[in-house]
Amino acid sequence: MDVKLNSRKLISIVVPCYNEEETVRLFYQEVQTVIQNLNYEFEYLYVNDGSIDCTEKKVRELMLLDQRVKLIDFSRNFGKEAAMLAGLQYAKGDAVVIMDVDLQDPPSLLPKMIYYWEQGYDNIYTRRRNREGEPLIRSFFAQKFYQIINKISDVEIIDGARDYRLFSRPVVEHLLSLKESNRFSKGLFSWVGFSGVCLEFDHVERVAGTTKWSFLKLFNYAIEGITSFSNSPLRLATYTGLLIAFISFLYLIYIVSKTLIFGNEVPGWSSIACIILFLGGIQLLFLGVIGEYVGRIYSEVKHRPNYIVRSCIDLSHEEE
């Protein structure tokens, strides 16, 4: 596909990294083969998210070879959400691309993404057609998560959509204007709106290394998404409380009526114990739901930064 040429436009490529020493250079080489014939200016923003391996060293080696490579080094691990936010804040491009360093985001899609950007689209996102190679239980829960959140949220989040996206500068500015601390970027990317187009691709295995997303981390991320974009769990707590209160009232009428008709009898301790345990479990469950929201309010009001940058190195800027 032919791409409209304009050498004066800058495209920033944001690359979050956490213990990715094996993939830093491989990613750079693969992207270079794709963009070397595109008449655009590019910058690489590697965000080192508190890696404890040689990721920082590998990025610094690249910086000596190519001054377009820049390093944003966190003081510790703050998570991918913080790394993407930092990349958006430091990016100078007319368009910004977010890519995973493990090459599960095919660089071959970049020319097509740029093409749609030049056609006037502001949010070009990607989606996997399948989940081949992914554990079945993980795929099952992922699909259920998207089904649930799209039913209870006003924002549509595409099943299989990746963080691999190209944003125009207006979209970036509006994303940065959202000041919440608990960020669920997939939801925020949809919430800001703008004209979008989806590019689909088949599942690609990691080129090296291992995934940093455990089942527990993904589960917590799902809870973050649901509580960030829906109040339905709180409403469910209310409706469940009303339902249990109504059932309890009916049961009270039954007990009183039975006593009046047949007289008093020794009550069964097992049925009482079951009822108490059931009601106690429901109460604890929804106290946990309320606690999730209160915890997020607590995080927001503290106004702590999403990340702390230990150093930001731009050799091209230093030489200027």
Q: How far is the C-alpha of 20 from the C-alpha of 195, rounded, in Å?
A: 33
Identify whether residues 288 and 159 lie together within a single domain.
no
Identify whether residues 97 and 245 lie together within a single domain.
no
Identify whether residues 130 and 207 lie together within a single domain.
yes
Residue 277 counted as domain residue: yes
Identify whether residues 288 and 192 lie together within a single domain.
no
Tell me, what's the pLDDT at 319?
46
Identify whether residues 164 and 248 lie together within a single domain.
no
Identify whether residues 72 and 204 lie together within a single domain.
yes
Q: How far is the C-alpha of 73 from the C-alpha of 54, rounded, in Å?
A: 12
In Å, how far from its chain's centre is CA 144? 16
Identify whether residues 30 and 99 lie together within a single domain.
yes
Tell me, what's the pLDDT at 252?
65
| Domain span holding position 238 | 232-302
Tell me, what's the pLDDT at 205?
66
Identify whether residues 263 and 278 lie together within a single domain.
yes
Give first-to-last CA distance, the chain, whole Å.
Answer: 36
Backbone Cα Rg of the chain: 25
Residue 253 counted as domain residue: yes
pLDDT lower than 50: segments of the chain: 2-6, 319-320
Identify whether residues 31 and 167 lie together within a single domain.
yes
Angle of helix 24-35 relative to helix 55-65, nearest 10 degrees, comes to 30
- pTM of whole model > 0.75? no
Identify whether residues 108 and 206 lie together within a single domain.
yes
Residue 225 counted as domain residue: no
Q: How far is the C-alpha of 33 from the C-alpha of 25, rounded, in Å?
A: 13
Identify whether residues 274 and 185 lie together within a single domain.
no
How many CB atoms are located within 10 Å of the residue 73 CB?
Answer: 20
Decide: 21 and 94 in contact? Cβ < 8 Å.
no
Residue 221 counted as domain residue: no
Residue 5 counted as domain residue: no
pLDDT in tens, 263-274: 655 566 556 656
Share of the chain above pLDDT 70, in %: 62
User: Tokens 């009601």 appear where?
Assistant: 279
Q: How far is the C-alpha of 62 from the C-alpha of 249, rounded, in Å?
A: 71
Angle of helix 215-229 relative to helix 269-302, nearest 10 degrees, comes to 80
Residue 222 counted as domain residue: no
195: CATH: 3.90.550.10
Give me the number of domains the chain comprises: 2
Identify whether residues 141 and 236 lie together within a single domain.
no
Residue 19 counted as domain residue: yes
Residue 1 counted as domain residue: no
> Please, how many CA atoms are within 13 Å of residue 200, restricted to the half-sphere of its CB?
7
Decide: 67 and 315 in contact? Cβ < 8 Å.
yes
pLDDT in tens, 93-125: 889 999 888 888 888 888 888 988 888 888 888
- Sign of the dihedral through C-alpha 107, 92, 94, 128: positive
